[in-house]
Structure 1
């Protein structure tokens, strides 16, 4: 194998997803992932701490996108509307990766350890959103409530989007779920 391989991270991710789908997460090893990608284990560990992180490696970028977009939301936006702006910024990213997102979710759903990891990552997103809201001057508990509500909207919208045919897109699913949340909190029924 050569010393430098183009798109090693992407190749490792693709190999892992294929193997997790074929053999299951538990039965797949780092050695097999690296071999399928045509890379070494050492290269794998340069990109990922463990085989679990292949599924969660994008969470840092997702969190950055959410926090950065929330920070740029109009100053007049309510906390939940600022969170909505941030959530909408993720829609295009997800729409471009629909099949990969669906495969990833199937793998996570089949493994309790991965489900727990997903919950930890979602909790980190809620905390990051709340922190960004506090930076905007939103007091507690409003910042934490809006951050948690935003993650709840994301989870429900993602489930609806993943389970559907691709239409409507993720952005429309986010808006539908946000509207339903607002109706529920206003005392109405959806």
Structure 2
């Protein structure tokens, strides 16, 4: 996905503002298995996925709990680092070779001070990320595992082909055995 489309999906910018923000963005790539963000570290960049898929998870006492998948067009960010300049709680690992756009948070904050359009873009970005987090929380609290799986199929069916079932089960908050049972029921 091209950076212009990603930026516009967040909040349409005038051409001059878009050019200004794009000057601060660089393209990078990393191989499958690379840790893009690490827990207990203040992250200094926001990434946008041009190509590939990533998984966000946190470690519990005995396993990893997946709480988010990102794919083409999605932002990869530690909100705790972005908003409060504090250490994040999540690890974000690449599940495929990825091409990414990187934007340094410090550079973006300087642009907020200089350009109201970019400041509004940043506000919309944070608002959208908050809504996504809220929707995941509500889904996990009020929907059954079967309903969450059906929702995943409806909204992100490509994840089923691209992500290990163990990660999908963790994301849904169930065991792999339960996921297999749900998948058999749906077929």
Q: TM-score, normalised by structure 2?
A: 0.27
- The structure in which a higher percent of residues are strand is 2
Which protein shows a greater Rg?
1
Q: TM-score, normalised by structure 1?
A: 0.27
- The structure in which a higher percent of residues are helix is 1
Q: Which has the higher contact order (CA 8 A, sep 6+)?
A: 2
